[in-house]
Structure 1
Amino acid sequence: MKLSPSFSRIILTTFLTASIFINSNAQEKKKFIVNGYVGGYRGQVNVAEIDAKKLSHINYAFVNVKDSAAFLTNLKTDSTNFRKLNELKKINPDLKIMISIGGWSWSENFSDAVLTPSSRKLFAKSSVDIIRQYDLDGVDIDWEYPAMRGEEGNIYRPEDKQNFTLMFKDIRAELDKLEAEKGRKYLLTAAVGGSKSFVNNTEMAEVAKILDYILIMTYDYGGKTVNHHTNLYPSRGMETGSSAHKSVMDFMEAGVPASKLGLGAAFYGKSREAESNTNNGLNQPQISGSKAVAGQGGGYGKMKNEFINKNGYKRHWDRHAKAPYLFNSETKVFITYDDERSIKKKAQYIKKHKLAGIFFWEYFNDPEENLLNAIDKTLN
């Protein structure tokens, strides 16, 4: 059978139109970041246990700040870990390996390090020199917290607010030099506190212009009452309390585009003791300095093995907060955490609000990949 020229043109046009439509849909599908923090501070990282195909970024935690410079405290193991983490790119060529500077325990010297133009330049150069030396992909700053008290003994001052911005400008300038040398893109990100006070003590609209991603630590929420530490929305009766949604809205109102915001997931639980069994401990007064909570909670792997519907703990779901929790009615210990269901809700929220993606602390707290699989299944 021989087709007429006009009919052949119709078939060809239809085929090309369909191809363009399929390709444009593929291009329109957003690729979300999945950023896992890996704790190198413990020593040698078991890289073989990292599922590189399900990650877009690894943040290596942590690099210290000493004498106004980024400093590898555990040089021998850090250098080995960098080499082995880079080998994961054979599995996932798009994977980015970042250094994360600071963290809760190593933020005490940030304020001094960025106080003057000369100290900022030294800090920026030393940060990027690590990237250059070990062939990594970028710098993540985890300053806890500018212009606010973090860990006991931390140095902080009002000037941190402006110096926080200037620090990023100097690091970006050093990364630009490295880009000119190597001919490729390098990333600059920050992990930021989820509180309104963090927003008020920084210039987030200016910072957002410099950074590739801003990772909101939507976990470790606390207060005087027993509540969730990584809830997506407020619990009923706690509408003014902390939540991931409130944190996201605060940062967006401060001028940060949704497309640069990463939402935090907790691969661990935190325990609190309630004064009473009312409402399974939720929203009850919290006993300060409780000894009953010692050893309760921990990484998600431990949670599944020891606590979830075990050893006197019963799992509950807060439909308002979109968060699970455990409660032991005998000890009145309440454990707040993320699980597969809440992770799915967070991932759906990310898609709905067109955020950059998700990140989590800490990779090895989920050895069976229950939470990572929930992320992978929902975002991809």
Structure 2
Amino acid sequence: MKTLTPSAFYKWKHYQIQLRQLCVVICLIITSSLVAQVSTGGNATTSQHQKQVIGYITNWDAWKSTTAGVPSPGALTHLNIDYSKYTILNYSFFGVAKDGSLHSGDLRNKNIYQQGAVQEPGDIFYTDVYSSWDMHILFGEIDPVQYINAEAKTRAEAQGFVVEIGGSTWSQPTWGLSGGLPVPLHKENGAPGLIELAHQKGVKVMASIGGWSMCKHFPEMAADPVKRAKFIADCKKLIAVGFDGIDLDWEYPGPYSGMNFTGSQADFANFETLVQEIRNAIGPNKLITAAMSADPKKLDGFNWSKLANTMDYFNMMTYDFARGFSNKANHNAPVYPYAGAEASNFNWESTLQQLTSMGVPKNKICFGAPFYGRGVVTNGPADLNVATVKRAETVQPDGPIQTAADFTNWPRDVYDGTPNYFFIKQKALSPNSGWTKKWDNEAKVPYLIKDNYFLSYDDEESIAKKAKFININNLAGTIVWTVFGDLEFSGSAQSFGPKLKRWSNVKSPLVNKMNELFASGGTGNPPPTVSITSPAQGATFTAGANISITANASDNISVARVEFYNGSALLGEDLNAPYSYNWTNISAGSYTIVAKAYDNEGTSATSTVKVSVTGTGGNELPKVSITSPAEGATFTAGSNIMVSANASDTDGTISRVEFYNGNAMLGEDSAAPHN
């Protein structure tokens, strides 16, 4: 028998230790690869294009179960996302407390909607591993250690915890948190958390702060240097944990109503100060983004050039244009304007028009794609633009509200009238569902109707239209609310601890379609180009003057016509170049002049200038109101409808009243009574 010398023995032990370490590394890699990535199909990934695909990942959807159309709780987590389809993931949400500090979304004051209610400070992560998904999603499979022995102390210290053998408490200095047993340790060789898994795949993770129900203290925090310092200190904690930046979801800066507060004009300057101080604190290499209202009127107050110097992306919430509080059954996220809309500028095109008119750089603009729908109850048979029927409800997080949201098909406390796309496919797009699918060729979105129920949503066709819009207009990319909205599960589930599960077969048709269009550079039929050449932006005229409006328009095939508008009111059109309209005898006021060019296939583009008319005189606009039929009236197919209107003019006479069905003229009447 051959024996080893002491030096040979130590060499052998050294190699044995190295081999064991190598085995551990290999085992870790193999274990990690088993859970690291699902592939949801599709023909393109983010590696094949330069657009941003920013997905919001929530900490509450993991609770959803079979009532929401998923196999079980734990399906809607970071383990079932295809990371190759996203460039950035926004973990949502952290809230703002009354002292300016940040807290876990799970610690939100559920009575915050009540008058005088405030948000008390709370832990930045909710470390109760049995009641919250925070630890499981952010840090992966958790091993809740109930007793601290020497081995547990070593593991805990390797993960940044401070513990004592036999102790009953722990602290985590990086998080700024402490607690009692159990210690929420990441399980050795366990499933990775969101931050680790995303970074493995080259995807950045942002900490998203605010959201609809946790913005109440944003205005006072941004205005107060002491509270702002607390906020920024917690932002720095999140960066130290591993987040790649801060996403602000303040809904909304300015003198507008949020869920439980109304802001002020001072918010705009305070927002700019907050962003600059965040940048100073986290440095130039981390990201700063913000989710921003798509309502054009809420965008005027920002100093966009200043924000563009400190922020990376402006994430426009180009959805929720119609909701339960709307008076009409309208589209959730229309790409283009459409006849009969309750608000004519609630669409992607109008939002972009407003942003570009203010000089916002397109390479920082991301438009929001909703992977969910909005259902409402209508007054009589449902269809687009039919009046909604509201009722009193008490819901979370809003409290008592008047809403037309459809809780019959999209149940309260599960979807509250806003079903995910996968649930829409299960319930309304399956055979014999009773729903009828329609397509709005103006807005470029689908909708569904059944009895007195209306559902606006997006499918693969409309998502392709949205991707084309982003390509055509050279925007930075898209934001997705939420990454879970289009996930379709089948096959078997592998469990990682009592909460996390990974499915063997997951599909994501909407984000796949978005990436395919981005990768192909697809634009379909590109819209014409149009620009108003006269008058100049901001021009001033004297009351009574005539304004000559001229525009240049071109198209890859042909321009069919150019329409000229005063806001949403059609002034006239020109079928031939040079395109012009002479607007005469204008009264004092502020006006938005719009030129809208159409190509031979009906695709349109717009150009806008704002002008002022000062002094007295000019032609005052007539006044008109429809007296019959009443708003929301219902008729039987084949019946006649008498349309009557009152019209008056303070400085002249009524020459005629024209009646339209949308954009189609029905007839005119030159004498009162007009009908």
- Shorter-chain-normalised TM-score: which range? 0.7 to 0.9
- Which structure 2 residues correspond to residues 340-379 of structure 1 after superposition, within 5 A? 340-368=460-488, 369-379=508-518
Q: Is the 8 A contact 1:111 1:155 kept in 2?
A: no
Question: For the residues of structure 2 that align with 1:274 and 1:248, how far apart are their CA atoms?
Answer: 30
Q: Give the whole-Å Cα distance in 1 for the aligned partners of 2:454 and 2:330.
A: 8
1:75 partnered with 2:126: yes
Instruction: Please report how far the alpha carbon of residue 40 of structure 1 lies from its aligned counterpart in structure 2 after TM superposition.
Output: 1.4
Deviation at 1:205, TM superposition (A): 3.4
Separation (CA, whole Å) in 1 of partners of 2:387 and 2:238: 47
Partner Cα distance (1:313, 1:193) in 2: 32
Deviation at 1:270, TM superposition (A): 0.4
Deviates more, 1:312-321 or 1:29-38: 29-38
1:168 correspondence with 2:270 = no
Contact 1:69 1:127 in 2 (8 A): no
Pair 1:58-2:89 in alignment: yes
Deviations 1:20-39 (A, max 9, x none): xxxxxxxxx85000111000
* Equivalence for 1:318: 440
Q: Is the Cα–Cα contact under 8 Å of residues 204 and 251 in structure 1 kept in the other structure?
A: no
- Cα deviation 1:216-246 (Å, max 9, x = unaligned): 0000002422110111111234482410111
How high is the TM-score relative to the length of structure 2? 0.48
Separation of aligned partners in 1, 2:59 and 2:304:
29
Deviation at 1:80, TM superposition (A): 4.0
Distance 2:236 2:356 in 1: 29
Query: Which protein is richer in strand relative to its size?
Result: 2
Matched, 1:47 2:78: yes
Instruction: Determine the structure 2 residue equivalent to 1:33.
Output: 52
In structure 2, do the counterparts of structure 1 residues 197 and 186 end up closer, same or farther at CA, with 3 Å as the change threshold?
Answer: same
Residue 406 (structure 2) pairs with residue 293 (structure 1): yes
Name the amino acid aligned to 1:336: S
Match of 1:257 among 350, 355, 361: 361
* 2: CA distance, partners of 1:175 / 1:41: 28
Paired residues in the alignment total 339
The change in CA–CA distance for 1:291 and 1:121 in structure 2 (over 3 A counts) is: closer
Find the aligned partners of 1:92 and 1:217 in 2 and give their Cα distance.
Answer: 26
| d(CA) in 1 for partners of 2:419, 2:255 | 27
Deviation at 1:135, TM superposition (A): 1.2
In structure 1, the partner of 2:331 is: 228
Equivalent residue letter for 2:424: M
Instruction: Tell me, in whole angstroms, the C-alpha distance in 2 between the residues paired with 1:374 and 1:58.
Output: 18
Deviations 1:301-355 (A, max 9, x none): 1000001265321111111101010011x2x211001111111111111111100
- Tell me if the contact between 2:256 and 2:264 (Cα under 8 Å) persists in the aligned partners: no
Q: 2:390–2:404: 8 Å Cα contact kept in structure 1?
A: no
In structure 2, the CA distance between the partners of 1:282 and 1:60, relative to structure 1 (3 Å rule), is same
Long gaps (5+) in structure 2: 1-47, 63-73, 108-124, 128-132, 140-192, 392-402, 411-417, 489-507, 520-675
CA RMSD of aligned residues (A): 2.1
1:92 Cα deviation (Å)?
Answer: 1.6
Superposition deviation, residue 107 in structure 1: 0.7
**Is 1:92 matched up with 2:196?**
no
Asked if the contact 2:338–2:344 (Cα under 8 Å) also holds between the matched residues in 1, the reply is no
Q: Which residue of 1 aligns with 2:670?
A: none
Amino acid at match of 2:338: S
Kindly provide the amino acid, as one letter, of the partner of residue 144 in structure 1. Answer: E
Moved more, 48-57 or 145-154: 145-154
1:196 aligns with 296
Offset at 1:165?
Answer: 1.1
Contact residue 57 and residue 96 of structure 1 kept, 8 A? yes
Q: Is the 8 A contact 1:323 1:342 kept in 2?
A: yes
Question: Secondary structure of the equivalent of 1:364?
Answer: coil
- The runs of at least 4 aligned residues of structure 1 exceeding 6 Å deviation read none
Question: 2:372 maps to which residue?
Answer: 268
- Residues 144, 119 of structure 1: CA spacing in aligned structure 2 closer, same or farther, 3 A cutoff? same
Unmatched runs of 5 consecutive residues or more in structure 1: 1-28, 180-184
Aligned residue for 2:233? 125
**Residues of 2 paired with 1:302 and 1:314: CA distance?**
16
Could you say what secondary structure the match of 1:365 adopts?
coil
Q: Which secondary structure does the structure 1 equivalent of 2:272 belong to?
A: helix
SS in 1 for 2:299: helix
The structure whose RCO (Cα within 8 Å, separation 6+) is larger is 1
TM-fit CA distance, 1:291: 6.4
Distance 1:154 1:364 in 2: 29
| Helix, strand or coil at the partner of 1:272 | strand
* Matched-pair contact (CA < 8 Å) for 1:146–1:202: no
Q: For residue 307 of structure 1, what is the aligned residue in structure 2?
A: 428
- Which AA in structure 1 matches 2:434? G
- C-alpha spacing 1:355/1:292, structure 2 compared with 1 (3 Å): closer
Separation of aligned partners in 1, 2:92 and 2:198: 19
Give the aligned residue type for 2:81.
Answer: I
SS class of match (1:281): coil
CA distance in 1, matches of 2:305, 2:357: 9
TM-aligned CA deviation for residue 147 of structure 1 = 2.3
- Distance (whole Å) between structure 2 residues aligned to residue 155 and residue 325 of structure 1: 33
The match for 1:240 is 344
How many percent identity over aligned positions?
Answer: 29
Tell which structure's C-alpha radius of gyration is larger.
2
Residues 244-298 of structure 1: per-residue CA shift (max 9 Å, x gap): 1111221222221111000101111101223243xx5112222223667114350
* One-letter code aligned to 2:220: D
Greater share of residues in helix: 1
1:147 and 1:160 in contact (8 A); partners too: yes
Q: Distance in 1 between matches of 2:473 and 2:405?
A: 39
Shift of residue 204, structure 1, vs aligned partner: 3.1
Distance 1:89 1:225, change over 3 A: closer
Q: Please tell me the residue identity of whatever aligns with 2:438.
A: H
Quote the Cα distance in structure 2 between the aligned partners of 1:247 and 1:361.
18
CA–CA separation in structure 2 for the residues paired with 1:293 and 1:79:
34
